[in-house]
Amino acid sequence: MSDYVDSYYRDTNRVTLAPTPRLAGAARADVAIVGGGVTGVSAALSLAERGYDVALLEANRIGWGASGRSGGQILTGFGTGMSTFAEALGATAARHIFAMSREAVSHTVARIETHAIDCDLRPGAIYAALKPRHMTEFARERDMLQRDYDYDGLTLLDDEALAARVQSPRYIGGLRDAESWHLHPLNYVRGLAHAAQTVGARLYEDSAAVRIEPGSRPVVHTATGRLQADWLVLAGNAYLAADLVPELSGHVMPVGNYIIATEPLREDQVASSLPGDDALSDANFVLDYYRLSTPPGTSPRLLYGGQVSYGHRPPRRLVARMQAKLGRLFPALAGIGIDYSWGGLVGVTRNRAPHFGRVGDNIFYAQGYSGHGMAFAGLAGGLIGDAVAGQAERFDLYARMAHRRFPGGTRLRTPLLVLATNFYRMRDLI
Ligand SMILES: Cc1cc2nc3c(=O)[nH]c(=O)nc-3n(C[C@H](O)[C@H](O)[C@H](O)COP(=O)(O)OP(=O)(O)OC[C@H]3O[C@@H](n4cnc5c(N)ncnc54)[C@H](O)[C@@H]3O)c2cc1C
177 pLDDT tier (thresholds 50, 70, 90): very high
Indicate if 281 and 385 belong to the same structural domain: no
Nearest CA to ligand 1 atom 48: 65
Looking at the structure, do residues 242 and 258 belong to the same domain, yes or no? no
162 belongs to a structural domain: yes
Q: Quick one: 331 and 382 in the same domain?
A: no
One domain, residues 316 and 261: yes
- Predicted confidence (pLDDT) at residue 420 exceeds the cutoff of 60: no
**Choice from 70, 355, 383 to test ligand 1 binding pocket (greatest atom count within 8 A of CB):** 70
- Residue-wise pLDDT for 161-174, tens only, equals 999 999 999 999 99
Please report, rounded to a whole number, the percentage of residues in the chain having pLDDT higher than 90: 89
Work out the pLDDT band at 5, boundaries 50, 70, 90: very low
Q: What is the domain count for the chain?
A: 2
Domain with 211, as residue range(s), is 8-69+187-250+351-420
To test the pocket of ligand 1, the residue of 23, 346, 352, 383 to mutate (highest count of ligand atoms within 8 Å of its CB) is: 346
Query: Is 89 domain-assigned?
Result: no
Please indicate, yes or no, if residue 322 is contained in any of the structural domains: yes
- The residue that leads in pLDDT, 4 or 87, is 87
Residue 4: predicted pLDDT: 46
- The residue to mutate among 78, 105, 239, 364, having the most atoms of ligand 1 within 8 angstroms of its beta carbon, is 239
**93: in domain:** no
Q: What percent of the chain has pLDDT over 70?
A: 93
Q: Give yes or no: residues 344 and 368 share one domain.
A: no
Angle at CA of residue 101, ends 280 and 48, nearest 5°: 115
In a domain, 82, yes or no: no
Same domain, 37 and 140: no
Vertex 336: Cα angle to 335 and 338 (nearest 5): 115
- CATH code assigned at 308: 3.30.9.10
Among candidate residues 301, 333, 348, the one where a domain is terminated: 348
CA nearest 243: which of 220, 218, 219, 212? 212
424 pLDDT more than 80: no
Per-residue confidence (pLDDT) for residue 287, from 0 to 100:
87
Q: What is the rounded average pLDDT of the residues 356-361?
A: 96
Instruction: Point out the ligand 1 atom lying closest to the alpha carbon of residue 41.
Output: 25
Q: For residue 339, count other CB atoms closer than 10 A to its CB.
A: 13
Q: Which residues line ligand 1 (CB under 6 A)?
A: 34-40, 57-60, 64-67, 69-73, 75, 208-209, 235-241, 244, 257, 259, 289, 305, 344-346, 367, 369, 371-375, 377
Q: Would the pLDDT of 430 be above 60?
A: no
pLDDT at 178: 96
Query: According to the model, what pLDDT value does residue 412 have?
Result: 52
Q: What type of residue is 380?
A: A
**Largest CA-CA distance found in the chain, in angstroms, rounded:** 63
Please name the residue whose Cα sits nearest to atom 18 of ligand 1. Answer: 373
Mean pLDDT, residues 255-259: 93
- The rounded distance, in Å, linking the Cα atoms of 403 and 349 is 8
Please tell me the distance between residue 406's alpha carbon and the centre of ligand 1 in angstroms. 19
pLDDT digits (tens, 9 = 90+) for 43-80: 999 999 999 999 999 999 999 999 999 999 999 999 99
Q: How do strand 173-182 and strand 73-74 relate by DSSP bridges? A: antiparallel
394 has pLDDT over 50: yes
Q: Taking 80 as the threshold, does the pLDDT of residue 310 lie above it?
A: no
Tell me the CA–centroid distance for residue 64 and ligand 1, in Å. 8
Do residues 259 and 176 both lie within one domain? yes
Residue 203 in domain:
yes
Same domain assignment for residues 267 and 173: yes
